Homo-oligomer: A and B are copies of this chain.
Amino acid sequence: MATIDDVARRAGVAASTVSYVLSGKRSISPATRSRVEAAIAELGYHPHAGARALASARTQVIALMVPLPMAPGTSTLRPDVDVNVLMQFVAGIAPRARSQGYDVLLVTDDDPGAAERVWAGSTADAIIAMSVQAEDPRTEALARAKMPAILIGLPEDPHGLSCVDFDFENAGRLAVRHLAGQGHRHIVMVGPPATTFERRMSFAERIVRGMRETAASAGVKFSVVPTAARRDAVAASLAPVLDRDDRPTALVVHHEAALPSVLDVLRDRDWHIPGDISVVAVAPPSIAEQQAAPLSSIEVPAQAIGATAVDMAMAAIRGEGTSETRLVRASLTDRGSTAKPSA
Chain A contacts to B: CB under 8 angstroms: 1, 44-54, 59, 61, 64, 68, 70-71, 74-79, 83-84, 86-88, 90-91, 94-95, 98, 103-109, 116-118, 120-123, 229-232, 257, 260-261, 264, 284-287, 289-294, 303
Contact = CB atoms under 8 A, between A and B. Distances in A.
B75 A303 contact: yes
Contact of A53 (B50, B106, B260, B261): B50
Contacts of A116: 46
A108 B99 CA distance: 12
A282 to B, nearest CB: 16
Given A122-B48, A264-B292, A76 B285 contact: yes
Contact of A90 (B52, B74, B95, B108): B108
14 contacts: A46-B122, A47-B121, A48-B53, A49-B121, A50-B54, A54-B54, A68-B91, A86-B87, A103-B118, A104-B108, A105-B105, A106-B106, A231-B291, A232-B293
Contacts of A121: 46-49
A88 B77 contact: yes
A108 B79 contact: no
The oligomer's copy count stands at: 2
A290 B76 contact: no
A122 to B, nearest CB: 5
A193 to B, nearest CB: 14
A108 B102 CA distance: 12
A20 B76 CA distance: 38
A214 to B, nearest CB: 27
Nearest to A64: B106
A304 to B, nearest CB: 9
Contacts of A287: 79
Given A76-B303, A284-B76, A286-B71, A120 B44 contact: yes
A120 B286 CA distance: 38
A84 B20 CA distance: 44
